[in-house]
Amino acid sequence: MISNRITIFLILALLAFGCNSKKESTTCTNPVMWADVPDMSIVRTGKDFYLISTTMHLMPGAPVMKSQDLVHWEIASYVFDSLTDNSKYDLLDGTVYGRGQWASSIRYHNGKYYVLFSPNDQPFSSYIFETIDPSTGNWKLVTRTKHFHDASLFFDDDGKVYVFYGTGNLTELKSDLSDVKPDGVNMKIFERDEDETGLLEGSQVIKYNDKYYLLMISWPRGEPRRQLCYRADNITGPYEKKVILKDEFAGFPYCGQGCIINDENDNWYGLIFQDRGAVGRVPLLMPVSWEDEWPMLGDENGKVPLNWEVPLKSHDSGNWIVESDDFTGDQLKKVWQWNHNPVNSAWSLSERKGYLRLKTSRVVDNIYLAPNSLTQRMIGPKSSGVVAFDLSNMRDGDVAGFSAFNGHSGLLSVVKEGDKKFLSMSTNEVDLDNKTKAVLSVKTEEKERVELDKVVIYLRIDGDFNLHKDLATFYYSYDNENWTQIGTEFKMIFDYRKLFMGSKFTISNYATKEIGGYVDVDFFNFNKLQ
């Protein structure tokens, strides 16, 4: 098997690079994005790859990322600005932490792109959206239909439309996607093996050389998660199974769940995510070699490569999925997402040019219920974020700040108490109701507090996501040059029972006594550290 892989890789290398031609490739170092980009689904048209991921309670949602080399990615659009199924999306009568948009599927068919996802807080419904061009957005809702867990939309060559979902479930849709086809296929195409536990999640399906390939993850008893492939000559089966990746890459566990795609030269690639603690679930890019008509993931030894050459010309637009912002534009950069639906009347980029104004709009007693908290991903191996605040217009009881936000959060909070302002470094741990995700309580521990004597302050958080680290450290400054550390190092945590996502840089401002105050944010500066 290994000798066959080596031969295949030599042939691919010669075809991709050519013995006497100019080499055109892009160096990939895994993880290709050391950031929270789980539940990936991918599609390609021409040279353009489009990747969609899960962001659950963050708005706008269902981020679609674009690349031409599979290494450099940028946010192209979001499928929706907000979800309004119930008031919990507005942080009222509960929350949708760890729920909302989940495990989307993106496909291209007859000149249009389609996205299917099922909010996992709404057990009876799915959304299907369409657009002509993901780069410009303009996604339009096609329909709401039944719920499909971890679904993969599939357009077959005969014009029929299907959804693969759950653990080996297959359902046929009407050709216009408006609903399930009443007299169509609706069946279980296979059962899990006895040694496998729980759901076989993460369905992603392709058709290649007239065969159907369904990728899923498996959790065998007492063993790590692994990537499976089910294969059949007919869409309804019978299906046979093979393990196509089993690896614990770079000391982190659980490589498994993702998708495969080919380029214009029919080179194949896999994007599989890996759990990496507090930073979240990160994508790993690897080659795919077809062996006995099975798509085997990884290098010649079946392992995730740390460094390798992707046989695609490098294309770096200069944009990425995390960026600095000086707030001089008419719109927020695409990299920003709000925590739940924003209160649009309570933020502005125009009231003070060059600043983001965050107004208080609701009296709450903790950051988990605060409207208009603005987030970006924290990234590894190390990253740093700096926020500049003008605090002149805070009111008594207002709390403005910068945090490493998650179910367990580390916070820098400016607290207005009477005529005084204090900077507090604290930790928060939220307790959520299992059913409604309502905030039951927040355990708070203040580590250090200092009184502020200026109205402009700079807050900085450094994150270290190297193996066995997951540490955040906190600083403040009055001039953005001389920094003072405050509080203690904070051990960040990924907790699937709470927010179920990687830690986020989060800018917030909320009222605990009365609304009407505001802060002006001059800039957010992001730096990737080594």
What CATH code is carried by the domain that includes residue 295? 2.115.10.20
How many CB atoms lie under 10 A from the CB of residue 137?
Answer: 16
Q: What is the pLDDT of residue 222?
A: 86
Q: Are residues 236 and 342 in the same domain?
A: no
Q: How far apart are CA 164 and CA 266, in angstroms?
A: 24
Residue 90 counted as domain residue: yes
**How, if at all, do strands 398-405 and 186-188 pair?**
unpaired
Minimal CA–CA distance to 300: which of 4, 5, 3, 14? Answer: 5
Quote the tokens at residue 233: 């000559």
Residue 331 counted as domain residue: no
Q: Are residues 303 and 341 in the same domain?
A: no
**Between vectors from CA 319 to CA 318 and to CA 324, what angle results, nearest 5°?**
110
Q: How far apart are the first and last CA of the chain?
A: 38
pLDDT in tens, 75-94: 999 999 999 999 999 999 99
Which residue positions in the chain have pLDDT lower than 50?
Answer: 1-3, 7-22
Q: Are residues 303 and 404 in the same domain?
A: no
Q: Are residues 199 and 259 in the same domain?
A: yes
Domain assignment of residue 24, given as a range: 2-310
Number of structural domains (the chain) is 2
Q: Are residues 294 and 372 in the same domain?
A: no
Q: What is the pLDDT of residue 1?
A: 47
Q: Are residues 341 and 226 in the same domain?
A: no
Statement: the pTM of the whole predicted model exceeds 0.85: yes
pLDDT in tens, 376-414: 999 999 999 999 999 999 999 999 999 999 999 999 999
What CATH code is carried by the domain that includes residue 378? 2.60.120.200
Minimal CA–CA distance to 56: which of 375, 395, 317? Answer: 375
Q: Are residues 158 and 294 in the same domain?
A: yes
Q: What is the pLDDT of residue 417?
A: 98
- In the sheet with 504-511, reading across from the earlier edge strand, the strands are 58-59, 337-339, 374-377, 504-511, 398-405, 408-417, 420-432, 439-451
